[in-house]
Structure 1
Amino acid sequence: MPAPRNTFKAALAQQRPQIGCWMSFGEASTAELMATAGFDWLVIDGEHGPNDLRSIRDQLMVTDPSPSHAVVRVPYGQDWIIKQALDAGAQTLLVPLIDTAEQAREMVRACRYAPEGIRGMGGAGSRVTRFGSISDYATTANREICLLVQVETRLGIENLDEILAVDGVDGVFIGPADLSADMGFPGNSGAPEVQDVIEAAIRKVRAAGKAAGILTLSIDGAQKHLAQGATFVAVGIDTLVLANAARSLCSDAKALLDQQ
């Protein structure tokens, strides 16, 4: 039995737009809820969310049976972190703070078994092989792993052509928040100067035949980035979805008191 087919990776290769959402609670129960919403992909955020390997595993367990594909964002680009996330069952990884082609190549190697890479051969007893029941996992997994790298600094933008030339990088995610801060606009990713750089980067990624991704917090923003050529677009963050809905509900309810 081979490794399961990565349908998200296949969709990106075909440049079929995928709509997603960020998950920052770090809880399996909320991930299970989000997996019923109909998103094409959901980010399990190990960088800024309160996650560890066990909570990432638990969220993979509840999202795997759903139509929503789980994308695991690791805290940092280290081979041991990638190895653990893959053995826990991740098929698609999002790696932050990639500034150079050499860093991108290191991440490709970390995702692949030898002779193409350095991923450790310890998955036989892990969740990723369904505890040994996927007999051909080691010989088929490399082609199903999807690697997305985050470019979110001026240096990364400068080196984008070289990063895009790295074989094994399936997509580039433009990190608007960190990029805007590095450009001198902290907390203002909507600054025209930042948006111009983002648009140019998205178009460059698409022209190179790779998938371009981004996070936006509005439907108007999603429409704009899709028109620019973005392939995988996240349209919200679960914590903010709840917070904004709760605040709006509370405000509307308290307004009733003024009518008494």
Structure 2
Amino acid sequence: MENACERSFREVFSSGGTPLFGSFIKTPTSHSVEIIGDLGFDFVVVDAEHAPFDRGAIDMVLLAARAARVAAIVRVPVTAPDYVLAALDDGATGILAPHIASARDAADLVSWCRYSGKRGFSNSPRAGRYGGKGVWQHIDEADKTVTVIAMIEDAEAVERIDEIVGVVGLDGVFVGRGDLGVALGDREPGAPRVKAATDKVIEAARRARKPVCLLAANAAEAAEFRVTGVSAFVISSDQGFMRTAAKSALGEFQVACQRHNQWQEPL
């Protein structure tokens, strides 16, 4: 499979052809990103909304992503121009913006991500190769490659989804099913209201020819969503992988040593 970094991530993501696989990064160090990239994941999502990332930590993990040749999307803590600009200047492949609930929200997000919109210019940070890129080279390349993804995680967003996915320059949407479950108060088994909302978002995105990304609970669920047209999947997180592996290892050791203990003669 072609790694997304071998072409513009935006180009591969927008095509919706090859399924892409990523993971949330919750730990503000370089190591998780390097491991995920080394394993062949297509992208990471630096979770500056729910994990303890300041600008310095984001800068460090974005450097690690470049070293590991993995696309790095930053989920900004707040959908605001200063957070978007900082992440892009530090070299983010794109922006995942929380709580986009209207076409106006989406249009503002696109504008903040594009020099053709309202992105503040500088070619002196990492994104401009510390001045190595000329002014217009940097502007043209950035506007061509920066990936803009809206998180759909509010009831209002679902109601307005056709307007949101219709915004020019918005590259795709991420369905935040966890937040939707809370927003809709969906405590029923199987979360039927969340499922209906998710299906509505996927259908709207398909009509608008916009790709959909979501966090898949497991491989079987990802396969089911792939049939509906979802093309990018977030698989757990660095913390989730560590917890799962640690739990499994602990259980194996406890069982093995308990068996051994049963074989011993009492003192």
Same fold (TM over 0.5): yes
Output aligned runs, 1:97-176, within 5 Å: 97-113=99-115, 116-121=116-121, 123-135=122-134, 136-176=137-177
Matching of residue 227 in structure 1 with residue 227 in structure 2 = yes
Q: CA deviation at 1:196?
A: 2.5
Q: How does 1:25-44 map to 2 (within 5 A)?
A: 25-44=27-46
Q: How does 1:238-257 map to 2 (within 5 A)?
A: 238-257=238-257
Structure 1 residues 190 and 89 mapped into 2: Cα distance closer, same or farther (>3 Å)? farther
Greater alpha carbon shift after TM alignment, 189-198 vs 30-39: 189-198
Contact 2:186 2:193 in 1 (8 A): no
Could you say if the C-alpha distance between residues 179 and 102 of structure 1 is closer, same or farther in structure 2, counting changes exceeding 3 Å?
A: same
Does the aligned pair in 2 maintain the 1:6–1:145 contact within 8 Å?
Answer: no
Equivalent residues of 1:6, 1:144 under 8 A apart: no
CA contact (8 A) 2:73 2:92 kept: yes
* Percent of paired sites with the same residue: 28
Query: Structure 1 residue runs of 4+, over 3 Å off?
Result: none
Q: Deviations over 1:102-149 (max 9, x none)?
A: 011111111111xx311111x222111110001120243212211000
* Equivalent AA in structure 2 for residue 34 of structure 1: I
Q: How do 1:46-61 and structure 2 match up within 5 A?
A: 46-61=48-63
Is the contact between residue 173 and residue 210 of structure 2 (CA under 8 Å) also seen in structure 1? yes
Tell me how far apart the structure 1 counterparts of residues 189 and 140 of structure 2 sit (CA, whole Å).
43
Q: Alpha carbon RMSD of aligned pairs, Å?
A: 1.8
Number of aligned residue pairs? 253
Cα distance in structure 1, aligned partners of 2:119 and 2:140: 12
- Distance in 1, Cα, partners of 2:72 & 2:200: 28
SS at match of 1:47: coil
CA 52–80 in structure 1, closer or farther in 2 if over 3 Å, else same: same
Unaligned runs of 5+ in 1: none
SS at match of 2:151: strand
Q: Is the 8 A contact 2:20 2:232 kept in 1?
A: yes
3-state SS in 1 of match to 2:209: coil
Q: 1:87 to 1:236 in 2, by over 3 A?
A: same
Q: Residues 5, 78 of structure 1: CA spacing in aligned structure 2 closer, same or farther, 3 A cutoff?
A: farther
Q: Which protein is bigger by CA-based radius of gyration?
A: 2
Going from structure 1 to structure 2, the CA distance change for 1:5 and 1:19 (only over 3 Å counts) comes to: closer
Give the drift of 1:156: 0.4
Q: Distance in 2 between matches of 1:154 and 1:59?
A: 33
